[in-house]
Chain A
Amino acid sequence: AQSVTQLGSHVSVSEGALVLLRCNYSSSVPPYLFWYVQYPNQGLQLLLKYTTGATLVKGINGFEAEFKKSETSFHLTKPSAHMSDAAEYFCAVSRPGGSYIPTFGRGTSLIVHP
């Protein structure tokens, strides 16, 4: 069984400030972890993913996330928020082995203030 918990349904930051979106997972096997972004009335776009190897993963638009096995976390960060980062962000976990069926978190709405 696998599950994802995203802490905070809303995160509000000022433009230029650090963005931190939290994700904790539960998985009975070493997981694959993902962060997706969704803009209004659109599908999901992959920001970054962790499968194996380096635990610090860099993605698009300046985002990165670090897989911490001891903390079962995969928090998403960006050093400086931009107005265009305002969107819904979803963390997801799946099992390795060629059978991608993800379990999504509830999502975190990122609000960026000018």
Chain B
Amino acid sequence: GAVVSQHPSRVICKSGTSVKIECRSLDFQATTMFWYRQFPKQSLMLMATSNEGSKATYEQGVEKDKFLINHASLTLSTLTVTSAHPEDSSFYICSARDPDGTEAFFGQGTRLTVV
């Protein structure tokens, strides 16, 4: 199957700083990528849908100014958590829709800890 690489896998940052998470499709072009947040022992919560060359579509309740998404190329989407606070600590996962549009491939996730 296709490979989606997410980096970094773990990051610790101080409150008030910003953190950027990268999501790359390695062997296919992804016009659409998804960003999820997962709380411990819970399911994935869709945060936003990222479309190459256009603004991301955010789910209700997700702060656009806090979670900045950029999808500048067909193989790269980034999520920047701005002015991070401890409550932003979570597991963030990206996925990229395959060219056929019938499924998506997931990155390995990023464990963000804000101290």
Residues of A within 8 A of B (CB): 32, 34, 36, 41-46, 49, 51, 90, 96-102, 104-107, 109
Contact = CB atoms under 8 A, between A and B. Distances in A.
Given A43-B93, A90-B43, A104-B43, 5 more contacts: A41-B111, A42-B108, A44-B95, A46-B103, A100-B104
A90 B103 contact: no
Given A41-B91, A101-B49, A107 B42 contact: yes
Interface centre among B46, B93, B101, B102 (most CB of A within 10 A): B102
B95 to A, nearest CB: 8
B109 A32 contact: no
Contact of B102 (A43, A51, A90): A51
A106 B41 CA distance: 9
B61 interface: no
Contact of A49 (B95, B101, B102): B102
A45 B106 contact: yes
Interface centre among A104, A105, A106 (most CB of B within 10 A): A104
Contacts of B98: 100
A46 B1 contact: yes
B62 interface: no
Given A43-B109, A100-B97, A101-B34, A49 B91 contact: no
A94 B109 CA distance: 22
Interface in B75-115: 91, 93, 95, 97-98, 100-109, 111
B6 interface: yes
Contact of A34 (B44, B93, B97, B103): B103
Nearest to B100: A98
B35 to A, nearest CB: 12
Given A43-B6, A43-B109, A105-B43, A100 B102 contact: yes
Interface centre among A46, A100, A105, A106 (most CB of B within 10 A): A100
Nearest to A107: B43
Given A49-B102, A98-B100, A100-B102, A43 B43 contact: no
Contact of A98 (B41, B91, B101, B109): B101
Contacts of B101: 97-100
